[in-house]
Amino acid sequence: MPHAERGMAVGLFGGSFNPPHEGHLLVAEIALRRLGLDQLWWMVTPGNPLKSRSELASLDDRLAMSEKLIDDPRIKITAFEKTLHGSYTADTLAFVKAKNPLVHFVWVMGADSLKTFHLWQKWQAIASTFPIAVIDRPGATLSFLSSKMARTFDYARVDEDDAGTLWKRRAPAWTFIHGPRSALSSTAIRAANGQKSD
């Protein structure tokens, strides 16, 4: 797990990154800038329970590709979840919180993940652990409001203009951040390379 000093604001950006691409990097850069973060932990997961593992590159390969893509020292690439042995996101976040009680964390996710967020194990616990920043992705701008997460936690939504204060807030708190979008997707990249999609 990367090191963060007391009082820092840190974004947690998890995913399969299969493969990582400029769209992921754009989400990370927007999060760093708009949320006023000191660091962003790029958390390469062993696998996503909602996606097929048949086309999943090895964890070492996905880490190496992430390292090659990123040159911002504020972005810390990590795969510490592999040591948690099959941990779900809710368990990972609880672990991070317990190990770093004096650090301010924000969960960062692309808006394309919002439509299935309610299928994640203990999704309401995730929303109640750390504030959440949802970063705009192509095709997700209008549909995010109809997602179960957005409806359930509508009362906790923070205006986008106040995104820079999100890390100071007590969860549940979330915001939707508009900005430049990349049409790249890992599924499309794998398809272009002759691999099946998830």
The single-letter code of the amino acid at 126 is I
Nearest 5 degrees, angle CA 82-CA 86-CA 87?
A: 90
Question: How confident is the prediction along the chain (198 residues), in pLDDT tens digits per residue?
Answer: 999 999 999 999 999 999 999 989 999 999 999 999 999 999 999 876 656 666 789 999 999 999 999 999 999 999 999 998 767 899 999 999 999 999 999 999 988 888 889 999 999 999 999 999 999 877 655 666 778 999 999 999 999 999 999 999 999 999 999 875 555 454 554 455 655 444
Strand order in the sheet with 132-135: 75-78, 39-44, 9-15, 104-110, 132-135, 174-177
CA atoms within 13 A on the CB side of 39: 20
